[in-house]
Structure 1
Amino acid sequence: MLNLLKSLSRTQKRNILIAIDTGLIPAALLFAFSLNLSTQTAWDSFVTYLPVLPYMLVVAVALSLWLCISTSTLNDYDTGSIGRTGVFSCLLAMTSTLLTAAANMPLPLSTQITFGISFFVFSIMSRAILLQVVLALYRKGTDRCRVLIYGAGTTGMQLVSALRSHEQIEPVAFVDDNQALQGVSVLRLPVYSPVRIAEIVAEGRIDRVLLAIPSQSHPKQMQIARRLQKMGLEVQTLPSFSQLIGEEALVDKLTPVNARNFLGRDEVMTPQDGGGEAYVGRRVLISGAGGSIGSELSRQVLEYHPKKIVLYELSELALYQIHQELTQLAEGSDIEIVPLLGSVTDARQVRRVLADHEIEVVLHAAAYKHVPLVEYNPLAGLANNALGTQTLVTEAAEAGVERFMLISSDKAVRPTNMMGASKRLAELVVQDIANRVAAPKGLKFSIVRFGNVLGSSGSVVPLFQEQLRRGGPLTVTHRDVSRFFMTVQEAVNLVLRAGSMAKGGEVFVLDMGKPVKIEQLARQVIESAGFTVRDVHNPDGDIEIEFTGLRPGEKMTEELTLSGTQVGTGHKKIFFTNEEGLSEIEVASAMRSLRHALAASDEAAARATVKRWVEGYSAPKETAGENREFIAPVS
């Protein structure tokens, strides 16, 4: 039966509704006659009416098509459709009055009014019954996803109302922190306490939990989601009620578009059952803790139960946000979370922090990473990325820090932009300190290098989604430009594993899979939002992709190694590469020249220093002073 229902075309479904409406006309007439006359007289009056009935049916079909009564789907039969049915019923009553008068068989006006009201009621009832029959067939013929709604407020109730008529999702119950709601029924669904979730999931065969608590803070929602995910549940979050427009929009927003959906391969997430000895019970400092990489490092290090996490961050807002989140996540544990405002370029402060907190592990993620911005502000980029790294790694070695891991970038390999060059200088400094100072002391200083992080601040997916919200176009620099991509969770997971297996002096490289074309990524973002791409092949599409041209310092493709060789480690996704660095004298000369250039605010001298000491560096054809046009990033 379900297969037959699915095979019906729109025209066939329309014809069925027309047939039902025409069949209701004689039923409504007979009902009207029976209310106004005796049973025998009612039947006689109906027989007398029969010559007029064919004309009534023809007019009814015409009116139904004109008013679009039969073209409205059962799911969309709303207030507007009911209003059109009322107009239809009035017109039918007027038509009946005119036809009976023309046929010289006038009926009482009360009978005609009763006929119109009866048809209106019968028509609405028929559609309500038909909708329930169709839904019952779908429910019986398909496996429905049973969901638990976390939050019995306005958003939760609106969600349940939307899901009542959904073919594949069945709301089972609510859970809510509000004790006043617990134990009562909302929209015929029971409301339970969150402490009973495990019991409800087992008894109700729950497949998924929908978080309908937009008023809660993001850290609180994350905390709830993590707890539910640890129970093996799939968790999805809804936006605020004010963002939901109509039933269809509400159901569509059940599945948020996450950056990892655009990865194009399986995400590599190693279970945290190995490598934790490098962080368990240790005092860990994370520089740049409020950034995309730094904040995820903080979250994942927290799961290894260190003794202390020092969050070192220059941005007050970013530090506040990650500190609030980690404090909630660490609630109930003895892990100490210390938020410190400061810059890695301040040697005296770095020295004091390392000593006061007896730091044993440093994860260095503080950096300016936005390619165009660093290209336009080369002195600031070099000061933070290169000299800041020199300050931190030198002080860490002097303080006897056991492990130091520099988070680097694929843009450091034969860089064509100042951001990549500054990161390569940072690598050279760490290599020098690792081999010359750290290794003799038994300290393990190393580098990990990987490509673009999906969903990080300033990266391409959030940019595309913002451009999509504005109606497009989505800007791509070149049709053939491609990049390596990882999710932030995947990258950080592998960074921590690499840090745990470091012996000292290595340049670790993460397996990024195959490079992804940015144009294809833009198409995925457009199509995942339910739109179509407007191009020469589809001029009537929704969103256009605009090619803006490569920016100064931007490559068509990125590389992960200078030598082109990768040596395997104990992990299939982590390799290390043998790359020659600079001597102690060369590193000292490079850093001294760089400091002189920064002190004199001399961009030309800074670029000359970079060109001399960074292997493969080629300056862009247009410098920051020659071209100030800003185009959104691909990295």
Structure 2
Amino acid sequence: MYSPGHIQQMIDETGAVEILLAVPSASRTRRRQVLETLEQYPLHVRTVPGFMDLASGRVKVEDVQEVDIADLLGRDAVPPQQELFERCIRGQVVMVTGAGGSIGSELCRQILSTDAKILLLFEHSEFNLYSIHTELEQRIRRESLSVRLFPVLGSVRNQERLYELMRVWAVNTVYHAAAYKHVPMVEHNIAEGVMNNVLGSLYTAQAALRAGVEHFVLISTDKAVRPTNVMGSTKRLAEMVLQALSQEVAPVLFGDEEQLHQENKTRFTMVRFGNVLGSSGSVIPRFYDQIRKGGPVTVTHPNITRYFMTIPEAAQLVIQAGSMGQGGDVFVLDMGQPVKIAELAEKMIHLTGLSVCSEANPHGDISIEFTGLRPGEKLYEELLIGDNVSPTDHPMIMRANEEHLPWEAFKEVIVNLIESVEQDDYDRVRQLLREAVSGYAPEGEIVDWMHSKRTVS
């Protein structure tokens, strides 16, 4: 038996190369303290599953796991306020767009736990829809839940399809998580980013207006604040769509037809937050894969930082923030302190029992290489456009008060943007984004594939 103060002695006497943490009930803050203590030793640190993981059937007793990166960040989630958490879900018909994505699927899992009457899974990826539907159906049978589940294939760019779904099922609440979110990918495919993120959000919101949906919650991002990329600027425009529609009498159709208006019974809410751990495109699984292969671990810049939050915590806060919206609200989640990605990579290397190869330690196991910022990537992300922020009844949720355009002015932006996209005029697209999105400051040349091909040709 060795005390925590005699770890080096234990290594010397036993030759241990791996240590298993069996402290599933400890707080995340306490687990971080333990990991910080162990980081200095040449030990591969892994964890024994917690009771809740065993009870849910996700893992077996004999399973051991890599350290949960959330433990490295050391932030304990605030338990949800039950009344807020249930307000827009219990006994209601709920629809999630992008239901198979990282945030969308977690929203579905938590909605399942909150006694919704019907849950509509709306998703354009057949595989993602099949995966989340299968998982939720198994859980419904295992836990004898009463919620009825309907997986629906479709695109947020099909307004009539969206409207018919919301009307026929009499949807009460929509969580709009469908979006293209990968910064470099959208930078190379500008037209799809604009049409999916902006027009898709407009069509989904106006379908909700026409169908009389009570609550509409947009999943936004910190990249919408003073963006340097197309993805962030399109997500800010998606926010502005909802802000423009949050008026007493709102337009319910957009296009060549004459505008139709009706009394706005839909409360539009936007929730803005940073990166979530384990999402598609997250650095964490990529770092683990690179470490397993012997390195190098690739980081874009030595000073790059990001906010991080676990997917379950983000989804819980999104649901609670959506319940507080009065119409046109932008809520910002408290993401804690930003994390330096290079330091995160170092911690991950150390906790697998390896050392960092550097100038100071040329014989180390794994090197960290800096590859340069990718198209549209920022060194630092922000959560607020201005300083006008106020607290809410929830300690982790703030309300941002930010300027936006009235509908008639915003409609002109959308018309011009669509026209420019259809003409593949990406110089004009960039100019329109500069004019409409506060703080949009693109860096570098346009790298859209079509634009680059035409320029070369």
Question: Could you state the TM-score of these two structures normalised by the residue count of structure 2?
Answer: 0.82
Instruction: Quote the residue 2:70 is aligned against.
Output: 260
Q: CA deviation at 1:484?
A: 1.0
d(CA) in 1 for partners of 2:8 and 2:190?
65
Counterpart pick for 2:369 among 532, 546, 552: 546
1:338 corresponds in structure 2 to: 150
2:445 equivalent to 1:622:
yes
Q: Tell me the residue number matched to 2:426.
A: 603
CA distance in 2, matches of 1:2, 1:386: 59
Matches within 5 A, 1:85-100: none
Deviation at 1:557, TM superposition (A): 0.8
- From the CA coordinates, give the structure whose radius of gyration is larger: 1
- Report 1:365-380 matches (<5 A): 365-380=177-192
Q: Which moved more, 1:578-587 or 1:387-396?
A: 578-587
- Asked whether the equivalents of residues 474 and 546 of structure 1 are also in contact (C-alpha less than 8 Å), the reply is yes
Shift of 1:255: 3.8
Which structure shows the bigger proportion of residues in helix conformation? 1
Out of 580-589 and 282-291, give the one that drifted further: 580-589
Consecutive unaligned residues in structure 1, runs of 5 or more: 14-72, 77-143, 148-207, 212-220, 229-234, 240-253, 630-635
1:312 matches 2:122: yes
Q: Please, which of 174, 179, 184 is the counterpart of residue 362 of structure 1?
A: 174
SS of the residue aligned with 1:537? coil
1:489-508 maps to which residues of 2 (within 5 A)? 489-508=312-331
Residue 298 of structure 1 is aligned with which of 96, 108, 114? 108
Please give the alpha-carbon distance, in whole angstroms, between the structure 2 residues aligned to 1:369 and 1:499. 21
Runs of 4+ in 1 over 3 A off after TM superposition: 6-10, 73-76, 144-147, 208-211, 235-239, 271-275, 436-442, 625-629
Judged with a 3 Å threshold, the aligned counterparts in structure 2 of structure 1 residues 7 and 529 are, in CA distance, closer, same or farther, namely closer
CA contact (8 A) 2:95 2:119 kept: yes
Distance 1:316 1:145, change over 3 A: closer
Look up the match of 2:28. Answer: none
SS in 2 for 1:275: helix
Task: Indicate the percent of aligned positions where both proteins have the same amino acid.
Answer: 43
For the Cα contact (< 8 Å) 1:259–1:455, is it kept in 2?
no
Q: What is aligned with 1:428?
A: 240
Shift of 1:483: 1.1
- In structure 2, what is the equivalent of residue 587 of structure 1? 410
- Superposition pairs of residues 19-418 of structure 1, within 5 angstroms: 225-226=55-56, 254-270=64-80, 272=82, 274-331=84-141, 332-418=144-230
Structure 1 627/564 Cα, relative in aligned 2: closer, same or farther at 3 Å?
farther
CA 1:302/1:328 → structure 2, altered by over 3 Å: closer, same or farther?
same
Contact 1:508 1:576 (8 Å CA) reproduced: yes
CA deviation after TM superposition for structure 1 residue 226, in Å: 2.7
**How many angstroms apart in 2 are the aligned matches of 1:8 and 1:449?**
45
Distance 2:152 2:406 in 1: 34
Deviation at 1:435? 2.6
CA distance in 2 between partners of 1:382 and 1:336 (Å): 34
Number of equivalences: 410
Larger mean Cα displacement after TM superposition, 266-275 or 345-354 = 266-275
Deviation at 1:396, TM superposition (A): 0.5
Distance 2:397 2:391 in 1: 7
Aligned mates of 1:508, 1:146 — CA distance in 2: 34
- Contact kept, 8 Å, 1:473 with 1:545, in 2: the verdict is yes
For the aligned residue pairs, the C-alpha RMSD in angstroms reads 3.1
Aligned equivalents of 1:402, 1:7: Cα separation in 2:
58
Residues of 2 paired with 1:589 and 1:423: CA distance?
A: 18
Higher relative contact order (Cα pairs below 8 Å, separated by 6+ residues): 2
Q: Does the Cα contact within 8 Å between 1:314 and 1:343 map onto a contact in 2? A: yes
1:582 to 1:471, Cα distance in 2 relative to 1, 3 A: same
Q: 1:476-555 counterparts in 2 under 5 A? A: 476-555=299-378
Unmatched tracts of structure 2, length 5 or more: 25-47, 251-261, 453-457
